[in-house]
Amino acid sequence: MQQTWTASTIFEALNILEAATKQLEAQSLALEPGDFAERKKVERNTPIRLTVDFDLTNLAQQVTTKHTIRRES
């Protein structure tokens, strides 16, 4: 099962990261529903592919601009 989620705001990105975390936790629990230690072992040893690609260019520019304005005030 492959999924692609796209966010265009910080709020959306945080929600997607939280949803992805919850989905991984749910799949881990389904794979090893019993002992906590065994589940953590499964989590450490079960391969998945996860790619996170950030483009923070606009955000970094906004931060720089805001800091410049604050310094000049």
In a domain, 3, yes or no: no
pLDDT digits (tens, 9 = 90+) for 2-31: 999 999 999 999 999 999 999 999 999 999
Phi, psi of 49 (to 5 degrees): -120, 125
pLDDT of 1 strictly over 90: no
In a domain, 4, yes or no: no
6: nearest Cα among 52, 64, 62: 52
At 28, is the secondary structure helix, strand, or coil? helix
Confidence band of 51 (pLDDT split at 50, 70, 90): very high
Range of 36's domain? 10-72
Number of domains in the chain: 1
Q: Give the C-alpha distances (Å, rounded to integers) separating 7 from 3, 14, 42, 51.
A: 13, 9, 30, 14
In a domain, 60, yes or no: yes
C-beta separation of 41 from 35 below 8 A: no
